[in-house]
Structure 1
Amino acid sequence: MCFGRCARCIGYQLLVLALLCIVANVLLYFPNGETRYAAHNLLSKYVGCLHGIIGGGLLVLVPAFTLIGLEHGHFHGCFAHEHYGRNCTPLVVVLVACIGIAGAAYCFIICCLALSEGPYCYCWTERIWCSPFSNSYGGYLLEHNKWTLCQEPRYIVQWNITLFSILLVLSGYELILCIIQIIHGCLGGAWTVCYGEREPQESQRSLQTHSIPLPTRGTC
C-alpha cells in the first residue's frame, strides 16, 4: 500500500543520511588527516559533542531501521505492515520519528553554534591556542581575509566550515523527513480508525450475501 512504500522510502533515505553524518563527524577529529590534534584535545569543543555520531547518526538510525523493517516483514502482530487496520504501526512510526527529530535537532543546533563560534586553533597574533572568531557571531564566514589568523592546523577554518555545513544540511534534511513521517503516521492512524469501522460492516454484509437459506420442513 502507499503508506508502506512511503515509509520504506523515507527509511532508506534516513539510513544514508545517518551514515553520512557519522562519517562527517569522524572527519572533524582529523583535520588534514592528522590525529595529533584530537590526541591533545586541540579541537573545537563542539567537535566532542558527537552531534553527528549520536544525534544525526545513531538516533536517526532508529527510525531508519524501523521503517525499513516494514518492507521485510520483521514486525508481526502489533507491527503488521500489510494493513494498518487494528494495529499500532502508525503509533510506532510516530514515536520513532520523534526520536529521529530529537537526534537531528541536536545535530542541527550544535552545527549552528559551531559555525557561529568558529574553530579552535593556534593564533599567530596572540601566540596561543584560542577561538579567534568566538565574538564575531558568524561574521567571519564572510571575511575570508581573517581566516589566516588560524595558523595551525592548516586550513582548519575551511575544514570546520565545510564539515559543519554538511552536517547542518544533512540534519536539516533528516528533520524534514522525520516530520513528514510523523504526518504520514498520523494519516495512517486516521486510516486505521476508518478501516476498523468499515471492516466489521463489510464482513457482515458479505456473510449475509453468501449465506445459504436452510430448508424448511413441510407442514402436515
Structure 2
Amino acid sequence: MCTGKCSRCIAYTLYPLVFLSMLCNIILFFPGGAVKYSREGHITEEVKYMGGLIGGGLMVLIPALYISCTGEEGCMGNRCGMFLSIGFAVEGLAGALYSFIVAASGVGNGPLCLYNGQWTTPFKNSNASYQSDPKVWPLCIEPKNVVQFNTGLFCTLIAVSCVQAILCAIQMINGLIGCLCGTCNKTETGTIN
C-alpha cells in the first residue's frame, strides 16, 4: 500500500474515534442524564481532567487533519510532509495516552456519588474490585446507576484511546517510510523532495 493512501486510511479511521472520545467525555459530565450534578460540582475528578475531550479529542484531531493532508497530492503530500506527520503522530500518541491514563484512573477510583449522606468516592480505597461485585453498586444512592454509567463510558474511552495509540504508532512508521521512500503521489514523481 502506498504511504499516502495509508495516511488517508489512518486519518479517516481516527475521525470517528475522536468524535466518540469527545462524546463519551461530554456525556460523563451528566451522570444519570441530569445537569444538576455538574451544576453542583458532583462530578468524578477524572471527568474534569477531560481526557476524552483534550487527549483523545483535540490532541488526536489535529494530527488526524494533518495526516489526511499528507495522503493527498499537493504541498503536504511529499517527503517533507511525511516527515512532519511523524511529529504530529507523536502528538496524537501523547493525547491517546493521556486519555487512556485518565480513563483507567476513573475506572480504578470509581465514581463520585452520594454514599452514607455525603458525596465521596466509596470505591477509591477498596481492596476488592468493585466492578466485579454488583452487590456493592447500590451503595451509591445518587446519581442512579452511576457505577455502570462511569464504568461503561470510561471503559469505552480506554478502548478508543488504545486504538488511537495504535493508529498513531502505525502513522509514525508510515511517515518514516514515506519520508525515506516517497508518498507515491503523482506530483512527487521525478522531483527531489
Structure 2-normalised TM-score? 0.90
Q: Distance in 2 between matches of 1:181 and 1:137?
A: 40
Q: Which of 134, 137, 146 is matched with 1:144 structurally?
A: 134
CA distance in 2, matches of 1:11, 1:136: 41
**Alpha-carbon distance in 2 for matches of 1:70, 1:181:** 11
Stretches of structure 1 that go unaligned for 5 or more consecutive residues are 193-198, 201-220
Partner Cα separation in structure 1 for residue 151 and residue 33 of structure 2: 16
| Aligned-partner Cα distance in 1 for 2:104–2:154 | 8
**Matching residue of 1:118:** 110
Per-residue displacement from partner, 1:9-33 (whole Å, max 9, x unpaired)? 0001111100110011000011121
Query: Is 1:179 aligned with 2:169?
Result: yes
Report which stretch shifted further, 38-47 or 62-71. 62-71
- Which structure has the larger Rg over C-alpha atoms? 1
TM alignment of 1:11-90, pairs within 5 A: 11-73=11-73, 75-76=74-75, 79=76, 81=77, 84=78, 87-90=79-82
Aligned residues: 184
- Percent identity, aligned pairs only, is 36
The normalised TM-score by structure 1 is 0.79
Decide whether the 8 Å contact of 1:116 with 1:138 is kept in 2.
Answer: no
Gaps of 5+ in 2: 183-189
Aligned pair partner of 2:83 in 83, 91, 95:
91
CA contact (8 A) 1:117 1:138 kept: no
For residue 164 of structure 2, give the secondary structure of its aligned residue in structure 1.
helix
Amino acid at match of 2:20: L
Runs of 4+ in 1 over 4 A off after TM superposition: none
Distance 1:35 1:171 in 2: 26
